[in-house]
Amino acid sequence: MPYYRERSGGDVKTQGEVKGMYTNVSFSRVVDTYADLGWDEIVAVPMPAPSTPLKKVEHGDPVKKAGKWTQVWVEEDMFSGATKAADEAAHTEQLDTAAAASARTERDSILALTDFHGLTDMTMSAEMTTYRQALRDVPQQEGFPNEIDWPVEPS
């Protein structure tokens, strides 16, 4: 969504907000109507990922670079105040719970792909038995769910 900066006051608004302010104006695709009305387009910059799960990335004030207004992203702590430590601990626990559930779902899918080795008309090899047990033991690994050493399926 394009953003525009008002030259006179520095206000930043979305394209839709600017158009809503000028309901009697036809915005041309050929002529820069926004510039004629005193608005400069802000060059979009992709939003970076937060450096940690306890940070968030928000819009900052645009800066002028090489004659064009450019979007700026600012990284901030997700939590603040007197309950910051408790809030961060609760958030981290939620992330770990979600990661554990995802890892278990992946593990269960891998196990399901090897179920046919246990059919009554087949004999499961010792390597496959060890592999399947290693998959079941994934949640007991140190570092689970954030660091998983997935076992390698025997050939």
pLDDT tens-digit map of 1-59: 899 999 999 999 999 999 999 999 999 888 889 999 999 999 999 999 999 999 999 99
pTM of the model: 0.62
Domains in the chain: boundaries: 3-77, 84-140
CA dihedral (56, 58, 63, 66) positive or negative: positive
Q: What is the rounded CA–CA span in Å between residue 118 and residue 85?
A: 48
136-149 residues labelled b (16+ CB within 10 A) or e (exposed): eebeeeeebbeebe
| Residues 25 and 18: beta-carbon distance below 8 Å | no
